[in-house]
Structure 1
Amino acid sequence: MDVFAPRDPRAATRALTVVIVVSAAVLAGYTAVSPPAGVVLALVVGVVVLLLAGALGLVLAPDRVPPWVHGAAPAAGVVVVACLDVATRDASTAAQVFFLLPVVYVAAHLGRAAAWGLTALAMAGEAVVTGLLLTPTAAVTDTVYLTAVAVTTTALLVRANRRTDELLAELRHLAAVDPLTGLVTRRVLDDAAACALTSADTDAGTSFVLVDVDRFKSVNDSFGHPAGDQVLCHVGEQLVAVVGAGAVVSRLGGDELAVLLPSTPVEVARECAEAALARLRAHALHLEDGRRVTVSASIGVAHAPVHARDLAGLYRAADAALYEAKRGGRDRVAVAAGPPPPADRPLPAPRPSREDRVARA
């Protein structure tokens, strides 16, 4: 069930193993010091054996632990603690505090619903134990105190986890989206390309379009770096306007952009590239001060499996076509020709953006 799915399965499994081993060790030590008699002793020994067997299973197969185990094990722990306390007629603070172990584990590693549900179950077990073994006044006092601790602990851990999740989501967004253009980063593009190249839907193949803004340094020198930033945003907008919903438009770095077109023949990719250049010619960029900037780009198009069969080869083929467009006079599209380029040619390294250079400085 999703409600029992841990936030980090590996970390949760390690923590659960530690909790189980500690519980087994404490229970075994307590039994050795003050061994109960008869059936109770057999019950305690059986619980210790089951705990150690469960911990061994978690150690041997940590990746095969189903999500429900992370909820069922702490819940079973609460029931076991309550049964042992009643069986041994032990309602001491040392016995009651064990209700908090499952609470802390679940609140730290599972979601909000599971945390509060387990806390309620633990406090119900505490109320049963104290109600059966203590006077009414002592039972109410102990239950209120332990409930206050459990609720506070759960609230603090749930709040901390929520804040951590928010920060992680923000970091993932920053890692996935270029802050200047709003396009995805190269990392996202690489992941999407790897997925497209290994997808079962490969009848039309995968096209890759590499875009380099012409004379970008001259734009920065003539109009200033803020104008260069606007040019990059402008080119990105024109690319997004001509590609379909399934395309991935990315800023690789500097003045280089790319478009991944899954399930797209090379002819269609070329048409998209030509349409992008047509839009750039038809839509000049007007700066805030009224100056007009004419923007053009050179574009290289490659296709898998026509020009390459893997991601590295696709980059190399598109890069070779891009430089062919540059040599041909810029402001044009070139399609990779012939077999895949040799693998010993290095992958194109995007020029660092201005903000990257500032960050390194």
Structure 2
Amino acid sequence: MTSPSARRALDGIPVYKPGKSAADENYKLSSNENPYGPLPGVMERAAGQLGRINRYPDAGMTVLYDALGAKFKLSPDHFAAGTGSVAVLFALLNAHCEAGDEIIYAWRSFEAYPIAADLTGATTTRVPLRDDATHDLDAMAAAITDRTRVVLVCTPNNPTGPIVKQADLEAFLAKVPAGVIVVVDEAYVEFVRDPDAADGLALLAAHDNVVVLRTFSKAYGLAGLRVGYAIAQPAVAESIRKATAPFSVTDLAQAAAVASLDSEAELTARVESIVKEREVMLAALRGQGWDVPEAQGNFVWLPLGDDAMEFAAACDPVSVRPFAGDGVRISVGDPAVNAEFVALAAAWREVH
């Protein structure tokens, strides 16, 4: 009997691996989640939508796009939202890439990039990070051919932590053909403190082929509701919306996102506390002798190589995110749990 078969493109695509859970959620430092609960007013605004869950969501996401437009001083047609910025990326690649095309990204970078890229049927080119865990933009520019349709730039880079500098990205864009989309993935932009970091919105204003990805999952603490968005020139944003499943973002999630935008002062305070705790972790780990790259997200990276899996197991009960053969990413969580992780890291170094 012949069984149904999936597309050949799936043969080499890995299954996305979520961060390892922990018995106590406070000990889960594996998924870059925000340790704080929803911002003030979010629960009430979201709960207000529960009485009408028999109705379809607003497919046009009018209120959300209006709120984003007000925040960024752009017309609503510059936005395309989906169930997290990763879903928006899937839609963008499906809208612009097919078999015969090429997609370029740095590696190691966000684990979903290979899945999203390979699913289109396009050829993918992974450009190795430099020794300091930063993007090698010169090598990425050299990899562009007449078949390249999209280049992905993650800043700060997940899982390694460093940013791409504004001057370097401007120089890179000068080398990129106008028909090639450059995605500036800024999922962790709120945590960036480097004044030289790339400014995706400024680049978008100067280059029609730039697309900026943002999310409510990290700084805003709405990971469970899945709301992310692209900021792009209207024609590109429209192409993403066309490739997005209708009604993908619930009214409950949209209400929570808009309410979050109304709590900027509290957001700033929470993000600043996470940034300060990141610096505490970074200083402690470097003081132990670890070679920790620049950290500009809500996580730190230990380049453990072949020891990554063994180290992760030794961190129990703290759950961290190992990448076999490369390293381990540790999210910034509750200060007490962060301190417990730092102690475990010190114990590891004493015997290795």
TM-score (norm 2): 0.23
- Higher RCO, 1 or 2 (CA under 8 Å, sep at least 6)? 2
Q: Per residue, is there more strand in 1 or in 2? A: 2
Q: Per residue, is there more helix in 1 or in 2? A: 1
Q: Which has the larger radius of gyration?
A: 1
TM-score (norm 1): 0.23
